[in-house]
Amino acid sequence: MFKVLVSDPISDLGIQQLMDAPDVLVEKKTGLAEDELAAIIGEYDALLVRSQTRVTEKILAAGTNLKVVGRAGVGVDNIDLEAATQRGIIVINAPDGNTITTCEHTFAMMMALARHIPQAYAKTVGGVWDRKSFLGVELRNKTLGVMGMGRIGSEVAKRAKAFGMNILAFDPFLTQDRAEKMEVKLASVDDIVRNADFMTVHTPLTPETRHMISRPQFEVMKKGMRIINCARGGIIDEVALVEAIDEGIVAGAAFDVFESEPPQLDHPFLSHPKIIVTPHLGASTVEAQENVAIDVSEEVLHILRNEPFKNAVNMPPVAASVMSRLQPYFSIGEKLGSFAAQSANQAVSEIHIDVAGDLSDIDILPLTRYIVKGVLGHHLGSEVNIVNCMHLAKSRDINVVVTKASKSKGFTNLLTVTLKTQNHEETLVAGTLLNGYGERIVQIDKFPVDMAPEGHVILISHNDKPGIIGRVGTLLGENDVNIASMQVGRKIIGGAAIMILTVDKAVQKEVLSQLTTLPELNRAIEITL
Ligand SMILES: NC(=O)c1ccc[n+]([C@@H]2O[C@H](COP(=O)([O-])OP(=O)(O)OC[C@H]3O[C@@H](n4cnc5c(N)ncnc54)[C@H](O)[C@@H]3O)[C@@H](O)[C@H]2O)c1
Ligand SMILES: O=C(O)CC[C@@H](O)C(=O)O
């Protein structure tokens, strides 16, 4: 039974599928301090948060059973990603579910800012009928600068067009082609600052975007600019903004987010007549909260059940079309890695992965990860997973080298894993998926073989001499080891050979030792797949 802790308020409807899952127990404990959460997290396999819980290194270190942290939302700045990656904890988010909601909030803020809605409301309900102080501006024919044309920025631009606005857009990944398709004008930060009437930011907060609008930008800014931030506090320099409003450069600002949340009571935004604020409500609609909770619950279930998942923040994204081609090879890839690691008898210094066949034209990094996980998993056990395997390999000075080729010896795809040791020994295992037969190992070192990689395998190296197969069979029989299948591979008659036996149960160490005392037999090891 998997235990899932929900530590922030998350829509019940959204997590219903987790609550209904027969193999999952969901517990809700919100408002816990770091120490309280660290004290109990060890019991849980998954943690579900919104933005309130700070998932710190301390909490992740105490989460000895933790496999996944799910963030019901986009931003993961409340989660220590590096600490999670080092521990092999997958961090997933729900990037799509609140896009429209946040875009609509941005629009609500822009319109409220243009027409002074909050200030006018406050006066009206306070008994003052003031029609003079709140002269607004139209959006039509105004220029809107959008910084960050990702999911939310693009939706904002689309709606702004419907309002008759002209759009200047800046995003390092926005091409001229895409800008034309979206009917926006590609611009620089400087163009926007100098020419827009309204400006809205939709970037993540990164070292590069932190204070991307600060004193130097305010100094050249078009007078009367109105600024909206429904992305992350800190993208716009709060202190410089207040100064720019007071100096008459900026006409007003609408902020949903703050550099530090919640802001202190004496934060200048809270009392400034030209600044309107909401308490990080961008994603707060019934629909968005359900969407993100549904998305994140689905992913958590996949991860707990060892099923393929997407949206892992601490792993590079992979297009669905690429994933569907790679996925069938994950299991054989991991088994090849594990087989090679069990077969190598020295510390590994390099994992060489060769992928030949029709997978050679796509990015095979996810498959590489499964193979590396297979190699490291033999020694590191459950500590290693596809999130931390590359990091673990690097931290152990194990070089991962990947090569690709289009020719694959007649197979649709042939995966070859070669482990190199510091004293230049090599262990090679190659495998494939055979139509109608499933996973096969087709080569071990220089020997062509044909075996299904499963269960307990005894791998013997010997000299190709008469009688050896009989002696091995007799010894195993005497020790109650039942042989399910046997294969022998050799390159030349009488030369070096290998014998691969699949047996019904694990073989005792003493039996393997006895095997090595047989004449002409050089090595006998057990490999479990
Ligand atoms: N207020 C809320 O409740 C709320 C809700 C959802 C998302 N958000 C925030 O909104 C922001 C945007 O979310 P999204 O889902 O659109 O993300 P996204 O990843 O789809 O888009 C972000 C875009 O910013 C661009 N970008 C990165 N660095 C940039 C730079 N230096 N200059 C210009 N553009 C840059 C990226 O190329 C990308 O296109 C994020 O910060 C997210 O955390 C806030
Ligand atoms: O309401 C929330 O959980 C925060 C939403 C938002 O900031 C996000 O990053 O998804």
For ligand 1, the distance from its centroid to the CA atom of residue 284, given in whole angstroms, is 17
Contacts for 388-397 with beta carbons within 8 Å, 24 or more apart? 388/85, 388/86, 388/87, 388/88, 389/88, 391/85, 391/86, 392/88, 393/351, 397/349
Span 514-527, average pLDDT = 93
ipTM above 0.95, yes or no: yes
For ligand 2, the distance from its centroid to the CA atom of residue 193, given in whole angstroms, is 27
pLDDT, tens only, 421-447: 877 889 999 999 998 889 999 999 999
Residue in 52, 109, 171, 230 to alter for ligand 1 test, most ligand atoms within 8 A of Cβ: 171
Give the per-residue pLDDT at 201: 98
DSSP three-state, residue 459: strand
Give the per-residue pLDDT at 383: 61
Ligand 2 surroundings by CB, under 6 angstroms = 50-51, 73-75, 98, 282-284
Mean pLDDT over each residue of the chain, to the nearest integer: 93
How far apart (Å, rounded) are the C-alpha atoms in residues 337 and 523? 20
Give the per-residue pLDDT at 313: 82
Residue in 76, 102, 285 to alter for ligand 1 test, most ligand atoms within 8 A of Cβ: 102
Give the per-residue pLDDT at 316: 67
Give the per-residue pLDDT at 322: 86
Record the tokens describing residue 366, joined without a space: 């996810």
pLDDT, tens only, 139-158: 999 999 999 998 999 999 99
Ligand 1 atom closest to the CA of 152, numbered from 1: 16
How far apart (Å, rounded) are the C-alpha atoms in residues 68 and 299? 9
For ligand 1, the distance from its centroid to the CA atom of residue 54, given in whole angstroms, is 20
Q: How far does the chain reach from its first CA to its final CA, in angstroms?
A: 24
Ligand 1 atom closest to the CA of 173, numbered from 1: 37
DSSP 8-class letter at 134: T
Query: Does the pTM exceed 0.80?
Result: no
pLDDT, tens only, 192-212: 999 999 999 999 888 789 999
How far apart (Å, rounded) are the C-alpha atoms in residues 466 and 473? 13
Residue in 74, 147, 192, 258 to alter for ligand 1 test, most ligand atoms within 8 A of Cβ: 74
Ligand nearest to the CA of 293: 2
Record the tokens describing residue 21, joined without a space: 């899952």
pLDDT, tens only, 66-110: 999 999 998 888 999 888 988 889 999 998 899 999 999 999 999
For ligand 2, the distance from its centroid to the CA atom of residue 291, given in whole angstroms, is 12
Span 313-318, average pLDDT = 74
Ligand nearest to the CA of 99: 1
Ligand nearest to the CA of 150: 1
Nearest to 227 by CA among 188, 253, 263: 253
Positions marked active-site: 232, 261, 280
Among protein residues, the one with the nearest Cα to ligand 2's atom 7 is 75
Give the per-residue pLDDT at 154: 95
Ligand 2 atom closest to the CA of 292, numbered from 1: 10
* Ligand 1 contact, 254 CB (< 6 A): no
